[in-house]
Structure formats: C-alpha cells, structure tokens
Amino acid sequence: MTHPWVVRLLTSIGKPAEAEFYLSQFQALRPESFAVLWVDPDVSGALADALAFDLELLAELSLTPVLAFESKESAEDLAGRLSARAHARFAQPSEAAAIAQQGGIPLITLGDTGLAELATEMGTRKIVLLGAHGALASAGQRLSIIDVTADDAELQSGQILSAPHMALYQRARALVDAAGALVSITSPLELVRELFTVRGAGTLVRRGTAVAHHRDLAAVDRGRIQAIIEAAFARPLRAEFWHGPLHSIYVAGDYRGAALVTHTEVGPYLTKLAVGATARGEGIGRDLWRALVRDHARLFWRARPDNPITYWYRDQCEGMVKLPPWNIYWRGLDPGAIGPAIAGAQAAAVDFGERT
C-alpha cells in the first residue's frame, strides 16, 4: 500500500486530478518502460540527495525508472544515498528489464553512448536528462517545449542558449533522432513536478506531430474526434453539436488531438481544442495551435475558469475578459470587433451535457 505521505506530496505539486491521471498511466506500463533517467555527472551533493528522495518516492508508487550514468563513481555515489526502500541494483543494460520487473531500480553505467539503444530496449518513449542546470531557458524564461523540426535552426544560431544548455539540447536532439523519444531536460529538484503535471517543470524536446487540416466533416472519423473531446472535457457532447457548421477541422497525428473552428460574422471562433489522454504533456496542443494561427490571423474562443490550460490560453491571446461562467479570449481582432466577439462567445450554445 502506498504511504499517505507519498500521496500528499504527489498531490501537493499540482492539481490532484493531474497527479492521479499520470500515476494511473505510468502504473499501467510495463515496469521497465516507465522512463530512462540519465544522470549528469554534475548531479552531486544536495542535488543527488534530492534525486535519491525522488527515487524512493517513485519506488513507493511501484514505479521503476532505469538510471543511466556516465561513470561508475556517479552511480556509486547515488547508490550510497538510497535507502533499501528503493531496491536499487547495479546492472548491465541486458539485465535492466528483469530488475525493473522485479520491483528494483537498475543503475547502469553507459559512458556517453548507448542511451538511445537502452531506451529502445526498455520500450520507453520517455527519457529524462537530469542536470544541475535544469530546464533550458532563454533570457531567463523557461523553454517548456522545443520542436526539433521547427525550432532547431533558431537554437543552433548560438544566440538563444547558454553553452551548458546548448550541450544538453544537442544531447536531447540526438536522442530524439535516434530513439524517436520524448526527452525532458530538468533538475532533480523538479523531477516529480515534471513527471506528474501537465505543465511540467523542465523542457520537453520532441519532434512535432503532423497536423491535417480538413474542411469537410465527412473527411474525418467523427467518432474518434468526439472520443478525444469527451475524454478531454470529461463530459458527453450534445448530439446537436455536430449539426452546426464547422469551417475547419484539425487532426493531430493518428487522432491524438483535434481542433474545430466555425466562422462567424466577427471572425473564426475556436469551438474546441482537445488532446487525447495519453498524449497530454507531449506538446500536441502546441502543434494544433501552430496550425490554427498559421491559417487564422484572427481568432476568438472561450473556456471555463477551471479549464486546466487557462494559463496557456492567457499566453496565446492578445486580450481576454472574465465574464462568468466564461473566460473569453481573442487575438488579431480589430478593436471594433472585440465587443461583438465577446457577445458572440457568451451567446454560443453549451456543447456538453451533464457528467455521467
């Protein structure tokens, strides 16, 4: 049984529903495929103590990451800080899966190569690079997501990242290419928040997801889109939702996310933006948003104040107003169109029925 202090700590880092969601997702994976953590040699002292605490917490949750080190000394230093609760064991890469399946945390020395192969062998798409410098930042601002397809040229210009952060990015970029993985860069001080919240605390380096744009509902699988929306909002869509005109339908990847836009006299109205449950925190929402703003210079939308991505909507909009029960957002609107947009968003039909 998980100790109550573990549950309290986990829920204290963010919304309890987020922690519970990620915990259930992680515990449903094969033990060895939860995550591979690469520990930079600069993780020592207080940072190593923090990592040891994190690992013991994960062990209490029956989560067994595979830890990779550049040197045996680093692995031994961390092992000396762990209690018996972590069930940590030194291992060869070929032994890691069996140790994780038995409830242990494998400690592996890889040198500077072999991390992509290890992740592939473990069957995980999640690699976390842990270092003293934490998340990548530019001008003091955390870079939450980097798309190696769209952002690489700017980052490689040498004007964005410090030298230590550039080295971490280069390592993450190579892993994305070699393993097709999602690579997080963070500090041991922020590992639990990075793992168990949608917003995270590090930098996610990944390859963007292709987004298809359709103008005809018949061109998409309406059932799969409805399933994404209902799962994201935890409410059933009303049948009449599909009777209204949809001007643009965006589908990310193999129905991992979707966005729906209707046209009004004021301008394009974003009626739904939803990401599938298993894709949360992977940047799918950003891929959809890029496609949306590429095609729509003007856009307005609404969201309830308790929507978990209200913070993100505030970052994307040029203006907003709170008129309960809605927050109404807009971008690209002429001043004279803002009032009608607000009125239109307020008057739009309620799309969902009651929670079942």
Read off the pLDDT of residues 290-344 as tens digits, 9 standing for 90 and up.
Answer: 999 999 999 999 999 988 788 889 999 999 999 999 999 999 999 999 999 999 9
Q: Please count the structural domains in the chain.
A: 2
Take residue 241 and report the two structure tokens written for it: 């939702």
Instruction: Say if residue 176 is exposed, middle or buried (CB neighbours under 10 Å; 0-12, 13-18, 19+).
Output: buried
pLDDT value of residue 283: 84
The whole-angstrom separation of Cα 336 and Cα 356 is 41
The Cα 7–Cα 159 span in angstroms is: 42
φ/ψ (deg, to 5) at 82: -90, 140
* Segments of the chain scoring below 50 in pLDDT: 1
Residue 149 counted as domain residue: yes
Three-state SS for 193-211 is HHHHCCCCCCEEEECCCCE
Domain end residue (candidates: 206, 234, 262): 206
Domain shared by 97 and 134, yes or no: yes
324 and 299 both lie in a single domain: yes
List the CATH number of the domain containing 41: 3.40.1160.10
CA distances from 3 to 27, 51, 84, 138, 195 (A): 16, 19, 16, 39, 19
Give phi and psi for 3, each to the nearest 5: -65, 145
Last residue of a domain, one of 206, 223, 247: 206
Same domain for 228 and 134, yes or no, is no
Instruction: Supply the CATH number for residue 320's domain.
Output: 3.40.630.30
Residues 297 and 187 in one domain: no
Domain annotation covers residue 352: no
Domain match, 126 and 158 both: yes
Q: Determine the structural domain holding residue 147 and report its residue range.
A: 4-206
pLDDT recorded at residue 270: 97
Q: How much is the pLDDT for 1?
A: 45
Q: Say yes or no: 182 and 243 in one domain.
A: no
Domain-located, residue 354:
no
CB 88 within 8 Å of CB 81: no
Does the residue 281 lie in any domain? yes
d(CA 252, CA 254): 6
In a domain, 355, yes or no: no
295 lies in the same domain as 343: yes
Tokens of 283: 């940047």
* Cβ neighbours of 2 (radius 10 Å): 12
